[in-house]
Amino acid sequence: MKSAEMSTGTSRTCDSDHDGRLIMKEHFRLQVDKLFNMLFSSTSTFIADFHDKRKSTELCMGPWKNGKDGQQVRHINVTVALQANVGPKSSKVTEFQTMRACSCPGEIYSIDVLSVNEGIPYADVFNIATHYCLVRSENNGTDMLVFGNVNFIKSTWAVVKAFIVKHSYEGLSEYFHCLSEQLQEVSKKEKK
Ligand SMILES: [Zn+2]
């Protein structure tokens, strides 16, 4: 890698509107392709270990396939452990992932994830949309942004909505806090 390239970052931009709440904003000393592979390749041991630590089971990561308009799509199935003292102890989650056409290896990855739950109360009422932005930074590391949105697909009572919104954002914060910590561990080792 030429030193000039190392300080340029990228001129590419993400074409997402970056809707929703900013859930995570972190810098990692990892090259953007490496971070992408850790989070989104179907052979990633990092993400398998991460789910393992969270006591998630039945992780099944599909391969990326060509979608419409230059997009790449894949889906993931995983059964996640729930922390609550009452109610179900696990939930089946399907993640529909779309890599936007503005993504470019070595520069930027822009990925939309739609998460659908099964096996929890009101699972059919909502879904959770997250957007991952992995952008090559000036020092050839990566700036990572994650936005989250709770979508209601069926009408329900305001009190139920408020409950779902509260718990969904708490869940997202907790998940990405843990993910960020694990990524920083790898990132710190990278520097040595
Ligand atoms: Zn983005």
Distance 185 CA to ligand 1 centre (A): 24
Distance 110 CA to ligand 1 centre (A): 5
Distance 31 CA to ligand 1 centre (A): 17
Report the alpha-carbon distance of residue 114 to residue 129 in Å, rounded: 5
Distance 10 CA to ligand 1 centre (A): 14
Tell me what pLDDT residue 4 has.
38
Q: How far is CA 142 from CA 70, 71, 138, in A?
A: 23, 22, 8
CB atoms inside a 10 Å sphere around CB 68: 8
Give mean pLDDT, residues 154-160: 95
Distance 27 CA to ligand 1 centre (A): 15
Distance 121 CA to ligand 1 centre (A): 31
The model carries a pTM of 0.91
The secondary structure element, H or E, covering residue 140 is none
pLDDT at 1 over 70: no
For the chain, report the end-to-end CA distance as a whole number of angstroms. Answer: 18
Give phi and psi for 173, each to the nearest 5.
-60, -45
3-191 is classed in which CATH architecture?
Answer: 2-Layer Sandwich (3.30)
Higher pLDDT, 85 or 61: 61
> Which residues, in sequence order, are bridge partners of residue 126?
152
Task: Say if CB 65 and CB 33 are below 8 A apart.
Answer: no
